[in-house]
Structure 1
């Protein structure tokens, strides 16, 4: 859904040097394992308690969680990243989502930690395997084929970002006050962590907040140096980006596809000649542009189920309906 003419904006006040740390990710890339191969062989996903403890995710510690279609040669190495995953099932419409997934040996089983309710590809597209918000692991990801040379516009859909919740989000005192629609939850540690570094009193900045560049802002006035940043600015002004997770360490992350069809990181570097993921310390044009975009962001404070994007006249035509 595009941002609407009725959108009411509240400044996000994001720190473009999170934690005042020169090693902050700017941007980091939250790689989402998007596996839309319904005719691939069925693979067991077994339970692993490793999660984000730093233990090796390659070996299961429990029994079967799911059987999902996955190409035999597709490997997901052990990391300590979010590694959210989505699988399209045999019926061509059921989406299974889980986090964090690993498959360390081609042809072998996979492991994961958290189960989420299945969703319908033709449904609302809201919920899924971002554990910090309960939001989707497929909707909002920058996909292969997007953010490429030859166009002045960015992706024609809302994006997803992770923020350093310790300073960026409202210092909530109850779990119910830590998130807002469309998020269905917040991190289990939200109370006592969100906003604790800054005493953040901005009640608009909660898990699930829709960030956008107000329509009154001239994109040219931002002084952007790189073409992909100008494309992102177009998307952020016309569709925005939802806060879906906490970076936990200082940084600002963008969700992007990484699956059997390829990695958005690889495509991006091939297209533009520089890495999609960078750090503040690098002081590159792309990094500086991400900081400029962060400073330009506000919250669509009246985003709701009855006024998605703030309501009113959409800034862009609605996407055509997808028929099953």
Structure 2
């Protein structure tokens, strides 16, 4: 009361200086795609509350159980999650396809014409077919609705003629909020069928895995399901299920570490020596694994380790990775050379000392102890 209003002249109109500053802020805020600005964290780029399961750091006293990974067919593969985060795009229907995961079938050519999900905001000029990796990728998809909730479906393809097709869109996968979801009490479900976990949370986004970048959240990993344990149904919190074939004696979960099940949170142990990592992209990943960890969300179907990376109208991480680092993200350690070989050797070193955070749960997200990294900044408008 009685203090001068430094934002106004004596006539009551805003000062010229403040008008110029306001205009500058407006211009700056419209540029770039940074996940964090002075206004707060953009939920389309860095979603969920700070204490969500995806943003919660690992505890420094977490109970860890060794679970070494040793992929033989490919050292690293890409689990491409389709992220469509353009809630203002014009809506279009997704129609059903019967192709599923049959190698000889075309998901686009097997469309039935029956509407699976109505009126989803999918940009007109973007599609995934042709161009996806492998014959039958999982392609779990998350589409952001105007109210900032998610519709998830699998496997989503947007055909060359603009038709969007998919096969499953279970009711349990729908409605999680980017603003309030993925909490310890309600971790949410989604289109990763092997675990019932989301296609959105934990996906490495465009702009994160680049020189000078960081992955400031938990990530998602897919592994050969035969290395997982069938103990207690083959899954654990926050997964809601395991693969239907988990107890199959040939194809099912045959691992000997009961803690390592679908939904497990994997991490690097505190004694891991970061200075052993030679390449920057591996170091960025190692820091994410040490500070937040990786949730196991699906079966790779072969002997490899996959990382969930974004593919959508905002870009494709596999393309960005090769452009920024000068070599492909994926490959087998025996078939490459140069800096890619060193990168994959770094990953192999990390795999050899992976551990399960065995006390990760709703009462101790990330395990016991003090957080190993700062919590995420507030969401914009929070």
**Structure 2-normalised TM-score?**
0.76
Q: CA deviation at 1:5?
A: 2.2
- Residue of structure 1 aligned with 2:195, choices 109, 125, 133: 133
Q: CA deviation at 1:110?
A: 0.8
2:229 aligns to what? 170
**Structure 1-normalised TM-score?**
0.90
Q: CA deviation at 1:287?
A: 1.6
Give the whole-Å Cα distance in 1 for the aligned partners of 2:264 and 2:360: 8
- The 1:158–1:62 alpha-carbon spacing in structure 2 relative to 1, beyond 3 Å, is same
Q: Deviations over 1:251-305 (max 9, x none)?
A: 1100101111111111111111000111233251122111111112100000000
2:63 aligns to what? 8
Gaps of 5+ in 1: none
2:180 aligns to what? 123
Give the whole-Å Cα distance in 1 for the aligned partners of 2:310 and 2:365: 25
Give the whole-Å Cα distance in 1 for the aligned partners of 2:250 and 2:207: 35
Is the CA contact (8 Å cut-off) linking 2:246 and 2:252 kept in structure 1?
no
Name the SS for the 1:170 alignment partner: coil
Q: CA deviation at 1:159?
A: 0.6
- Residue of structure 2 aligned with 1:47, choices 89, 96, 107: 96
Name the SS for the 2:352 alignment partner: helix
1:160 aligns to what? 220
Q: Deviations over 1:93-128 (max 9, x none)?
A: 12101000112124x321101113311122333421
Give the whole-Å Cα distance in 2 for the aligned partners of 1:105 and 1:38: 22
Is the CA contact (8 Å cut-off) linking 1:170 and 1:195 kept in structure 2?
no
Q: CA deviation at 1:193?
A: 5.4
Give the whole-Å Cα distance in 1 for the aligned partners of 2:249 and 2:295: 20
Q: CA deviation at 1:201?
A: 2.1
Give the whole-Å Cα distance in 2 for the aligned partners of 1:52 and 1:185: 19
Give the whole-Å Cα distance in 1 for the aligned partners of 2:352 and 2:250: 20
1:229 aligns to what? 282
Give the whole-Å Cα distance in 2 for the aligned partners of 1:182 and 1:123: 16
Note the 1:78-89 alignment, pairs <5 A: 79-89=135-145
Is the CA contact (8 Å cut-off) linking 1:165 and 1:193 kept in structure 2?
no
1:179 aligns to what? 235
2:126 aligns to what? 74
Is the CA contact (8 Å cut-off) linking 1:162 and 1:244 kept in structure 2?
yes
Note the 1:1-324 alignment, pairs <5 A: 1-15=56-70, 18=71, 21=72, 24-54=73-103, 55-59=105-109, 60-61=111-112, 63-66=114-117, 67-77=119-129, 79-91=135-147, 93-106=148-161, 108-116=162-170, 117-118=173-174, 119-125=176-182, 126=187, 127-151=189-213, 154-166=214-226, 168-172=227-231, 176-192=232-248, 199-220=254-275, 223-283=276-336, 284-322=341-379, 323=381
Is the CA contact (8 Å cut-off) linking 1:28 and 1:252 kept in structure 2?
yes
Give the whole-Å Cα distance in 2 for the aligned partners of 1:136 and 1:194: 28
Give the whole-Å Cα distance in 2 for the aligned partners of 1:124 and 1:308: 15
- The 1:181–1:296 alpha-carbon spacing in structure 2 relative to 1, beyond 3 Å, is same
Q: Which has the larger radius of gyration?
A: 2
Give the whole-Å Cα distance in 1 for the aligned partners of 2:219 and 2:233: 23
Gaps of 5+ in 2: 1-55
Give the whole-Å Cα distance in 2 for the aligned partners of 1:90 and 1:235: 30
Alignment coverage as a number of residue pairs: 307
The two structures, once aligned, show a CA RMSD in angstroms of 1.8
Is the CA contact (8 Å cut-off) linking 1:169 and 1:194 kept in structure 2?
no
